[in-house]
Structure 1
Amino acid sequence: MNRRPLVIAAAVAGALALAAFALPNLPPNPVTDALEKQVLREKGKRYASAADAPKRGDREFVLPSWIPRDATDIRIRARGDGGARLIRFTLGKTPLDGPQCAAAARKKPDGPRLDARWWPGGTRGEERPECRDRYQYQVSVRGRQVYAWTDGTLSPGARIPAVSPNGAPAATPGGIPAGSPAG
């Protein structure tokens, strides 16, 4: 009996299992970044300031509107499907105004479904919902550090732009792209 295919399959399964446990704890480098993207379907970015973060494009890394413009040391970990995200940043001179959600909107999700070395434990009791963006975030402030996460739950009343067949925002009858501030 030829055991070679069985040995190869076991080795591949073992390597994938090891990667799933080891990847979150390895320092960032091109190899771990590629494996995280392919195996875990997660991506991470770091920006020195809010000004360095993209304003449009890859939705996973566009900052929510409630993050102050003078925030620094921004880290984002996002699931490839665009739903779940972890965000950590340091406040500048602009204080973070209190998280805002309508009383009826306060849905407390189970917890972040992502993990990162820079994410602290035990924020659950400090978290407050934030609903001013497309997704509802759970926000915790510890000194000047702010931790926010979403599992992809849409904010109540979130405006989701319609997309035309070519991928561009569809226009409303007035010619303004749906979902834009004027739309």
Structure 2
Amino acid sequence: MKRRPLVIAAATVGVLATAAFALPNLPPNPLSDTIDDRVFKEKGKRFATAAEAPTRGNQAFVLPSWIPKDATDVRIRVRTDGNARLIRFNLGEIPLDGPQCTAGTPHRIEDPELGARWWPGRIRAEVRPECRDRFQYQVAVRGKRVYAWTDGTPSPGAGQHSGAPAAPASAR
């Protein structure tokens, strides 16, 4: 009986299993970024302040206008094949109140299927306002830390970048 093919197969399975567990937990680097983008269809960025985030260009990382300008430790995770996003930031002196964030019961939007080590579990129960920009966001506040997410549902009356009306979520 030949053991060599079995040893090679077992070693290959071991390497693949180790990579599956280790790669998502590595700090950002070219290898993990490529795997996130091509395999998981996700990308992430971190900004020390909201002012450092882009205001135009790659729309995936342009922050919604309702995020206070003095927010710090801004993290964003996006789907590269859609509009789902996770955003986390710390509030500064400017509160999360304004005409774009309503205090009523938010409309339910789907939880985005994104993975981020900095995203807490069971955040849905803490949803407070619904904030709107180009998309509708669900928002939860824990002390000074704010968690926001969207499944890409357009805000009522929001247009796409081309100026055309936004497609309903059911059409996507």
Which bin holds the TM-score, normalised by the shorter protein?
A: 0.7 to 0.9
Q: Distance in 2 between matches of 1:101 and 1:142?
A: 16
Q: Do the aligned partners of residues 19 and 109 (structure 1) sit closer, same or farther apart at CA in structure 2, a change above 3 Å counting?
A: farther
One-letter identity of the residue aligned with 1:126 = E
Please, which moves more after superposition, 139-148 or 93-102? 93-102
Do residues 55 (structure 1) and 58 (structure 2) align?
no
With over 3 angstroms needed to count, the CA separation of the structure-2 counterparts of 1:20 and 1:101, relative to structure 1, is farther
Gap runs ≥5 in structure 2? 166-172
- Which deviates more from structure 2 when the two are superposed, residues 152-161 or residues 135-144? 152-161
Task: Say if 2:141 is the partner of 1:158.
Answer: no
CA distance in 2, matches of 1:133, 1:102: 17
1:165-180 matched pairs, under 5 angstroms: none
Q: Which residue of 2 aligns with 1:23?
A: 23
The whole-number CA distance in structure 1 between the counterparts of 2:95 and 2:87 is 17
Identity %: 62
Instruction: Give the 5 Å matches for 1:1-183.
Output: 15=16, 22-97=22-97, 99-100=101-102, 106-162=106-162
Bigger share in strand = 2
- TM-score (ref. length: structure 2): 0.77
Corresponding position of 2:169: none
**8 Å contact kept, 1:140–1:146:** yes
User: Alignment partner of 1:95: what SS?
Assistant: coil
Q: Is the 8 A contact 2:126 2:141 kept in 1?
A: yes
Count residues with an aligned counterpart. Answer: 155
3-state DSSP of counterpart to 1:108: coil
Distance 1:100 1:19 in 2: 43
SS in 1 for 2:39: helix
Check the 8 A contact 2:47/2:72 in 1, yes or no.
yes
- Is the CA contact 1:85–1:149 (under 8 Å) kept in the aligned structure 2? yes
Distance 1:80 1:46 in 2: 16
Question: Is residue 129–residue 136 contact of structure 1 (8 Å, CA) maintained in 2?
Answer: no
Contact 2:89/2:146, CA 8 A, preserved across alignment = yes
Displacement of 1:101 in angstroms is 7.9
Q: 1:59-114 CA deviation, whole Å, 9 max, x = no partner? A: 110000000000010001111024111000000110111632887xx431232311
In 2, distance between residues paired with 1:21 and 1:108? 32
Q: Could you tell me how far apart the structure 1 residues matched to 2:26 and 2:69 are?
A: 31
Give the 3-state SS of the residue equivalent to 2:102 in structure 1.
Answer: coil
Distance 2:23 2:129 in 1: 30
| Deviates further, 152-161 or 87-96 | 152-161
Q: CA deviation at 1:27?
A: 2.0
Superposed CA RMSD in Å reads 2.8
